[in-house]
């Protein structure tokens, strides 16, 4: 069985912020290695205090965050929330 993930952009902004670093309030001083930004988001979902996350695209390191108050442009990062509004997972 395979799964397709459909991401709705009803907000007009989308869920994941490419080229964006949430620079403050990391929960983990030693970031975890992940295989994708979707896995980084999953790590956030598994941590009760996590609300947001940031992943470095080259090193694949994932930082879990308590907020996204400080955002900076960084071409090497992808950031996002714990949950994406409008994300639908369907099976084939």
Of the pLDDT bands very low, low, confident and very high (cuts 50, 70, 90), residue 33 is: very high
Q: Are 50 and 40 contacting, i.e. CB atoms less than 8 angstroms apart? A: no
CATH number of the domain within which 51 lies:
3.50.4.10
42-85 per-position pLDDT tens digit: 999 999 999 999 999 999 999 999 999 999 999 999 999 999 87
Q: What tokens appear for 12 in the block?
A: 């007009």
Tell me how many domains the chain contains: 1
Domain that holds residue 31: 3-91
Q: Are 66 and 44 contacting, i.e. CB atoms less than 8 angstroms apart? A: no
d(C-alpha 48, C-alpha 92), whole Å:
31
Q: Are 69 and 25 contacting, i.e. CB atoms less than 8 angstroms apart? A: yes
Which helix H or strand E contains 85, and what residues bound it? Answer: none
């Amino acid at each position: 069985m395979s799964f397709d993930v459909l991401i709705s952009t009803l907000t007009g902004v989308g869920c994941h912020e490419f080229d964006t670093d949430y620079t403050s309030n990391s929960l983990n001083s030693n970031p975890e290695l992940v295989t994708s930004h979707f896995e980084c988001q999953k790590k956030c979902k598994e941590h009760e205090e996590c609300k947001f996350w940031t992943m470095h695209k080259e090193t694949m390191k994932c930082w879990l965050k308590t907020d996204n108050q400080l955002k900076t442009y960084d071409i090497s990062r992808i950031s996002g929330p714990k949950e994406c509004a409008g994300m639908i997972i369907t099976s084939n």
